[in-house]
Homo-oligomer: A and B are copies of this chain.
Amino acid sequence: MSNADSVRVRVFSLNCWGIHYLSKHCGQRYDMIGDMLSKGEHDIVLLQEVWSEKDHLSLKKKLACSHPHSHYFKSGVIGSGLAIFSKHRILDTFLYRYSLNGYPYMAHHGDWFGGKAVGMAVLSIGSLTANVYVTHLHAEYCREKDSYLPHRVVQAWELQQFVRHTSAGADVVILGGDLNMHPQDLGNRLLRSYTGLRDSYLETAKFDGCEDGMTLIADNPFTCKKELVPFEKGIRIDYILFKGSSKTDIFCDSMSTTKGCVPDHPFPYSDHEALTSELRLESHTPPEVGKDEQSKDQDSAGKVAELVDIVTEARTEVKVGLHCAERKRCTAARTGVMGLALLFLELAIATVSWLALGAEQPFPRTSFYLLAALCFAILLTTSLLYIFYTMELKSLQGAEDQMRLAVGSLQEKLRGFPLAQPHNVQRKPPVGDPEE
A376–B365 CA distance with the chains assembled, in angstroms? 19
The residue in chain B whose Cβ has the minimal distance to the Cβ of A121 is B405
A-B contact pairs, 7 of them (CB 8 A): A77-B391, A92-B165, A94-B161, A104-B387, A168-B170, A365-B366, A366-B369
Given A77-B390, A406-B92, the answer on whether A72 and B401 have CB atoms closer than 8 Å is: yes
A363 in the interface (beta carbon within 8 A):
no
A402 in the interface (beta carbon within 8 A):
yes
Select the stretch in A95-103, A179-187, A229-237, A428-436 that faces chain B: A95-103
A169 in the interface (beta carbon within 8 A):
yes
Using a CB-CB cutoff of 8 Å, which residues 315-371 of chain A contact chain B? 365-366, 369-370
Interface code A398-418, partner B: CB below 8 Å = 1, 0 otherwise? 100110011001001000000
CB–CB A394/B76 < 8 A = yes
CB–CB A92/B409 < 8 A = yes
- The minimal Cβ–Cβ distance linking A246 to chain B, given in whole angstroms, is 11
Given A115-B394, A120-B165, A165-B120, the answer on whether A75 and B99 have CB atoms closer than 8 Å is: yes
Using a CB-CB cutoff of 8 Å, which residues 73-105 of chain A contact chain B? 73-77, 79, 89-97, 99, 104
Q: Chain B contacts of A398 at CB under 8 A?
A: 73-75, 95
Q: How many copies does the complex hold?
A: 2
A71 in the interface (beta carbon within 8 A):
yes
The residue in chain B whose Cβ has the minimal distance to the Cβ of A122 is B165
Q: Chain B contacts of A115 at CB under 8 A?
A: 391, 394
A166–B163 CA distance with the chains assembled, in angstroms? 9
A99–B75 CA distance with the chains assembled, in angstroms? 9
Q: Chain B contacts of A366 at CB under 8 A?
A: 365-366, 369
A79–B409 CA distance with the chains assembled, in angstroms? 24
Tally chain A residues at the interface, Cβ within 8 Å. 48
**Residues in chain A within 8 A of chain B (CB atoms):** 71-77, 79, 89-97, 99, 104, 115, 120, 161-162, 165-166, 168-170, 365-366, 369-370, 373, 376, 380, 387, 390-391, 394-395, 397-398, 401-402, 405-406, 409, 412
A71–B398 CA distance with the chains assembled, in angstroms? 10
- The minimal Cβ–Cβ distance linking A391 to chain B, given in whole angstroms, is 6
Given A369-B370, A370-B369, the answer on whether A401 and B74 have CB atoms closer than 8 Å is: yes
Q: Chain B contacts of A397 at CB under 8 A?
A: 74
Partner of A405, one of B90, B168, B170: B90
A360–B75 CA distance with the chains assembled, in angstroms? 55
A380–B384 CA distance with the chains assembled, in angstroms? 12
CB–CB A391/B76 < 8 A = yes
A97–B399 CA distance with the chains assembled, in angstroms? 13
A373–B380 CA distance with the chains assembled, in angstroms? 13
Q: Chain B contacts of A166 at CB under 8 A?
A: 165-166, 168
Q: Chain B contacts of A91 at CB under 8 A?
A: 409
Q: Chain B contacts of A94 at CB under 8 A?
A: 161-162, 165, 402
Q: Chain B contacts of A394 at CB under 8 A?
A: 74-77, 79, 115
A373–B369 CA distance with the chains assembled, in angstroms? 9
Q: Chain B contacts of A74 at CB under 8 A?
A: 394-395, 397-398, 401
Q: Chain B contacts of A79 at CB under 8 A?
A: 394
Q: A71-B405, A75-B398 are in contact. List 17 more A-B contacts (CB 8 A).
A: A72-B401, A73-B398, A74-B398, A75-B99, A75-B395, A92-B405, A94-B162, A94-B165, A95-B99, A97-B97, A115-B394, A120-B165, A165-B166, A168-B169, A365-B366, A369-B373, A373-B376
